[in-house]
Structure formats: C-alpha cells, structure tokens
Chain A
Amino acid sequence: MSQIGAESYEQIMAGVAADPRMDRDNVSAPAGAAASLSRLLLGAGAAGLAITLVGGFVLGAQHALASYVVAVGAVLAASLGALCMLMIFHLVNAGWVATTRRQFENLASLAPVALLLMLPALLIDLVVTKGALWEWMNPEAAANDFLIGQKAAYLNPVRLLVFFVLYFALWGGVSHRLRALSVEQDRTGDRFLTMKARFMSAWALPLTALTVAFAGFDYFMSIQPHFFSTMWGVYIFAGGVCAAVAIVILTFCFLQFVGRMQGLVTPEHYHDLGKLLFAFCCFWAYIGFSQYFLIWYANIPEETFWMLERTTGAWRGTAIFLAVGHFGIPFFFLMPRTVKRRPLFIGIGAAWVLFMHVIDYVWIVRPVLHHGGHAPTPASWWLDIAAIVGVFGIFFGLYVIRLGSVSLTPMRDPKLPEALKHKNYV
C-alpha cells in the first residue's frame, strides 16, 4: 500500500468526522445511566464479596478461597484475552476492528485490576490460613511432601510476590499505554500513534504470552502442586479470548439496545466477532482435548490424578457439560451465517460462552475441595454464586466506568474509513 500525503489524509479524515454515525450522541455512553449502572454493579459486587467473607467463616476458608479464585480467574483470563487480541489487532494492522477496538482496550485495561483482586486471596492464604487452598503455601508442606520440596525453588512466597509485581507492571503498563494512545489519538488525530501502538505490541505480545502462562501456573495450576501440564498457559489463553470476545459482543448488543453505536457496529462486524468467538471455542476445545489426551496417554500418576478427579466421580458430569457446552453447542449454534449476523442471536451465543467460561474455572478450581475427604454439600453452592456475583459486580462496575469515561469508538483512527464500510464478501 502506498503512503498518502498529509493533505489527502486530512481530507479523508474530515469525511469521517462529518459522518453522521460519528455524532457525539451516538459514540458516548448515556452519562447518567452509565453512572447508575456502575453504582448498581459495584454495590452488588460489594454485597457479594461481603457474603463470601461470611461464607469463609461458615463453610471454611478453603471453600471461600476456591469460590473467590474461580470468579477472579474468569475475569482475569477474560481481560488478558482482550489484551492479547488487542495487540494481535495492532500487529496484523486489522482494519475492520477500528470501530470495535475501544471495548477491547477498556476490557484489557482492567487486567491489572483483576490481578489486584487476586492479591487478597494470595495474602490471606499465605498469612492467615496457611495453605488452605494453595497447599504449598503451608510452611511445613515443603518438608512433609517430597515433590513440593523439590519444587520449592519456584513455589515460594517471595517468588510468587515478585512475579505478581512483574505481571502487574507489564499488563498494567502495556494495557494502560495502548488505551492511552488510542484516547490521545481521539484528541490530536495524530495517525502515527497507531504506529507506536503497533511497535509496542510487537515486544509486549511475546512477554504477555509468557506471563499469562506463568500466571496460570501461579494461581490455578499450583492449587494442586503435584500436577503439571505444559499446555496450561495456552489453555488459559484460549478460554480467556473466548470470554473477551463474548464480553465485547455483549457490550455492543447492549449499547445498540440503548441506541448507541448505531451504524458503527453492523452485521458485518458482528459476523467477524462471531467468527472469532467460533474459532476460539474450537481452539479452546482443541487445546483442552490435547491436554487431556496427552495426560491420558502418558498415564503418569502425577498428572493423571488431576484429570481423574475432574473426569470421574462427582465431577464427571461437569466435564461432559464443559465439553458439550463450551464446544459442542457453540460449534453448531455459531456455525450458520445468519446467527452470527443478528445481534440477538450472537448475543445469546456470547452470553452462553461467557457462562461456560465461568464453568471452566469452576471445573479447574473447585474439585480441590473434594480432594482431602472434605466434600461440601450441593447446598453450599450459594458461596460460589456469592463470590461470582461479588467479583463480576466489581469487575463489570469498573468496566462500565471505563466505558463511560471515553468515546465508545476511536474517533480519528486512520483505519476508520475502512471499518465504516467493512463488508464480508463471503
């Protein structure tokens, strides 16, 4: 593609600015409604977290911590999925995504917030409950358990907290900068900020990929420290992108329902977002099955016990539900073109995938409660629901605040002319 001069560029962007679809009303969230919605969500979140805390005393610290980590894991993976997708969009110079990219930026910028939500659980288990959930956090675990002793060089509190700070610095810095560049471009119209974002994505994407994998080891795999899987990071990433795309689709369905983003997100954009959702559901299933299959085939006791707990006995039903609900149902539901192009249908699909994403984390984390003979009754699920409402309330309350604080779409992005007339010819 040839470079165009500053003058003709100005002319093209003046055309975009004059487009009735870029009207201020259409691209900003309803101010009062956004504020009251975020207050409602934050209130529900605070109540949910309070109930979770109470549940910790009623049903035991391990149960409360597990329920809380399920919820935080779901939102952490979703925000990291959004961060990875955002950098991939920048790196491949994606044009169609220009009108929808702001929501990926909003979601990605919450990655450090989701990470901070993980901190209380880590500190409580390190200091107060001493390994109730993360077995290795018990100071005597390394001495009593040979395998944990061998892994002590990695599984120790100092390394955990140092890595926590590194993740926070990297994800916080990168997601904040990418969003800030995009918001600055709204104001100045400097097209070379796009190049800056792309340059930043080039070095930050591999680092983010590595830190996502290590965060997956730290917070979810080390709950059962004997277990290890080399596909763990990819599994976390795949599920996270599913959830991120689902949240973005739901955001646009909701915004269009209240009369915003009219004409900016067309069936063509829903179609492409739906393709991403479909593709990453398949990718998640591919990775999930590969992980299961290699463990099944190699038959090494250190690995198989984890899968056995989750695919036989009480958790067999959940495993089947996960395979059918996170892959089978979306695979056939999202396959027809007409489904992906209708906001109502794709919204239902996205809500379902988001629900299954939470079930995925329940399946990863919760079986640990059945591990040491302590088996909570089905009635105790209220604690899990309280934790999910609590964390999702806080997370989405902050998401709505982010969403309301800037315009809903980049205003002067050089890719806008392409995104505004985006069309799938197939």
Chain B
Amino acid sequence: MVITDLLADYAPFLFSRKAKYATEAGEPIWGVMAQFDDVVNAYHAAEKMRDAGFKHWDLHAPFPIHGIEEAMGIKRTILPFIVLGAMFTGVAVAAGMQWWITAVDYTGFTVQGKPYGAWQPFAMIIFEIGVLFSAFASLFGMLMLNGLPRWNHPLFCKDRFLDSSDDKFFVVVEARDPSFNPEQTSRFLREIGATAVELVEDA
C-alpha cells in the first residue's frame, strides 16, 4: 500500500492509481475541493472533517493557523524516529569506517605515537557523521513525508485554487479516502459551510 502510494507519487509514468470514480466527461476523479471564505469556518470545517473520520484529506490556507493540527486531528510526525535511526546509522558507519582504516587496513602506520584503533580521535568523527546523517534525515525525511518533491499536483489545474495563496481556504478530500464518494462528500462539504465545491480531475 505504502509502496504503491510512493510509486504513484514519484513515478506516475510507472504506476498510476486506478480511479474508482469518473466525471460525466469520463475523466478520472482525483478528489473534491471545497472553498471556505473565512478562517473560522475553515477551522470548524476541519474539526467536522476530523470527526467524520476522513483519512486522506488536507486543508490549504494562505497563512499558518494556530491549533489547526488539533482541529484536523493530525498525529505527531514520525520524523524523530527516522532521524534517530539515521543517527545510529551514522554512528555505526563512522565508527566502523575509522576502526577498519586504522586498526585493520593501515596497521603499521603510526600517527603521533598513538595506539592503533584508539577510540579517542574517532569520537569527533562519530559525532560529526552522526549529526550529518541526522541533518540529512531531517531534511529529506521531512520532504518525503510531505510528498515532495513531485512533478505536479491535480489541484494546480484548478483556477479557483490560486486563491488559496490569497484570501480563501480549501478543504480537499482525495478519492483514495475509504469513505469518499463524489456526491456524498460534496454534499457533506456543503453542509459544513463550503461556499463552492468542485470535483478535481486526475492530471
């Protein structure tokens, strides 16, 4: 499931999701997009979306909204564990590399009269490579978890969506959500205060 999602995101030419629904024109449906005109409505809509049990949905706003992660029911990121794993990898790589170089491969090469494989000078490199791996894991793990980088996004084909960087708020539900249904979801979004609802075709 995760692998097919990743493939669909990063290599759409190799693998694309089969759309469950299609528009009247026969275009596959990627999801549905609902416009909210002010932040209070958008915030409460997010709470109702959370309570309705949607999984694959998002909210787009022109500015950060404090407390929106609770309103949307977003769980804490797993990024710290990825970084911790990367740190251990870095530590193991640095320790193994230096130990192999000084104690196995290049024995007989005395540096400053110190013993072969002395752990003291390893410590800095272990620290630095641990930090380096952690930093890379933080940056690239964050991008990965955000689904970046990507070629394009179906929402970019919608003119209305440009307002999400101006003064409008958009709740977007993807078709891969288990409880998605074009008519029912659109109706639900109107009920919770959307001023406009539009189907988004897969692009």
Taking Cβ atoms with an 8 Å cutoff, the residues of A that contact B are 289, 292-293, 296-297, 299, 337, 425
Contacts of B120 in A (CB 8 A): 292-293, 296-297
Closest to A332 in B: B84
How many pairs of A and B residues are in contact by the CB < 8 Å rule? 15
Contacts of A296 in B (CB 8 A): 120
A148 and B45 CA atoms in complex are apart in Å by 78
A396 and B187 CA atoms in complex are apart in Å by 67
- Scan residues 101-159 of chain B and give those whose CB is less than 8 A from a CB of chain A: 112-114, 120-121, 123-124
In contact, B123 and A293 (Cβ under 8 angstroms): yes
A293 and B126 CA atoms in complex are apart in Å by 14
Closest to B84 in A: A335
A-B CB contact pairs (8 Å), 15 listed = A289-B123, A292-B120, A293-B120, A293-B121, A293-B123, A293-B124, A296-B120, A297-B112, A297-B114, A297-B120, A297-B121, A299-B112, A299-B113, A337-B76, A425-B66
Contacts of A299 in B (CB 8 A): 112-113
Closest to A293 in B: B120
A425 and B76 CA atoms in complex are apart in Å by 11
Taking Cβ atoms with an 8 Å cutoff, the residues of B that contact A are 66, 76, 112-114, 120-121, 123-124
Contacts of A289 in B (CB 8 A): 123
Contacts of B113 in A (CB 8 A): 299
A425 and B66 CA atoms in complex are apart in Å by 9
A293 and B121 CA atoms in complex are apart in Å by 8
A75 and B124 CA atoms in complex are apart in Å by 31
Known A-B contacts: A293-B124, A296-B120. Give 5 more (CB < 8 A).
Answer: A289-B123, A293-B120, A293-B123, A297-B120, A299-B113
Contacts of A425 in B (CB 8 A): 66
A400 and B134 CA atoms in complex are apart in Å by 43
Closest to B118 in A: A296
A337 and B84 CA atoms in complex are apart in Å by 14
Shortest Cβ distance from B43 into chain A, in angstroms?
16
Shortest Cβ distance from B197 into chain A, in angstroms?
32
A307 and B113 CA atoms in complex are apart in Å by 18
Closest to A286 in B: B127
A297 and B124 CA atoms in complex are apart in Å by 13
Shortest Cβ distance from B71 into chain A, in angstroms?
14
A298 and B121 CA atoms in complex are apart in Å by 12
Contacts of A297 in B (CB 8 A): 112, 114, 120-121
Contacts of A292 in B (CB 8 A): 120
Closest to B66 in A: A425
Contacts of A337 in B (CB 8 A): 76
A296 and B112 CA atoms in complex are apart in Å by 11
A337 and B79 CA atoms in complex are apart in Å by 13
Shortest Cβ distance from B55 into chain A, in angstroms?
24
A297 and B123 CA atoms in complex are apart in Å by 13
Shortest Cβ distance from B14 into chain A, in angstroms?
36
A79 and B120 CA atoms in complex are apart in Å by 32
A121 and B168 CA atoms in complex are apart in Å by 73
Contacts of B121 in A (CB 8 A): 293, 297
A425 and B68 CA atoms in complex are apart in Å by 11
Contacts of B66 in A (CB 8 A): 425
Closest to A290 in B: B124
A293 and B112 CA atoms in complex are apart in Å by 14
A337 and B112 CA atoms in complex are apart in Å by 43
Shortest Cβ distance from B141 into chain A, in angstroms?
16
Shortest Cβ distance from B147 into chain A, in angstroms?
21
Shortest Cβ distance from A170 into chain B, in angstroms?
36
A-B pairs, top 10 by smallest CB distance, nearest first, are: A296-B120, A293-B120, A289-B123, A293-B123, A297-B112, A297-B120, A299-B113, A297-B121, A425-B66, A292-B120
Contacts of B124 in A (CB 8 A): 293
Closest to A289 in B: B123
Shortest Cβ distance from B88 into chain A, in angstroms?
11
Shortest Cβ distance from A342 into chain B, in angstroms?
16
A289 and B123 CA atoms in complex are apart in Å by 9
A299 and B113 CA atoms in complex are apart in Å by 10
Shortest Cβ distance from B120 into chain A, in angstroms?
5
Contacts of A293 in B (CB 8 A): 120-121, 123-124
Closest to B123 in A: A289
A186 and B121 CA atoms in complex are apart in Å by 53
Contacts of B123 in A (CB 8 A): 289, 293
A354 and B121 CA atoms in complex are apart in Å by 29
Contacts of B112 in A (CB 8 A): 297, 299
A297 and B66 CA atoms in complex are apart in Å by 51
Shortest Cβ distance from A238 into chain B, in angstroms?
16
A164 and B124 CA atoms in complex are apart in Å by 38
Shortest Cβ distance from B137 into chain A, in angstroms?
15
Shortest Cβ distance from B61 into chain A, in angstroms?
16
Shortest Cβ distance from A172 into chain B, in angstroms?
39
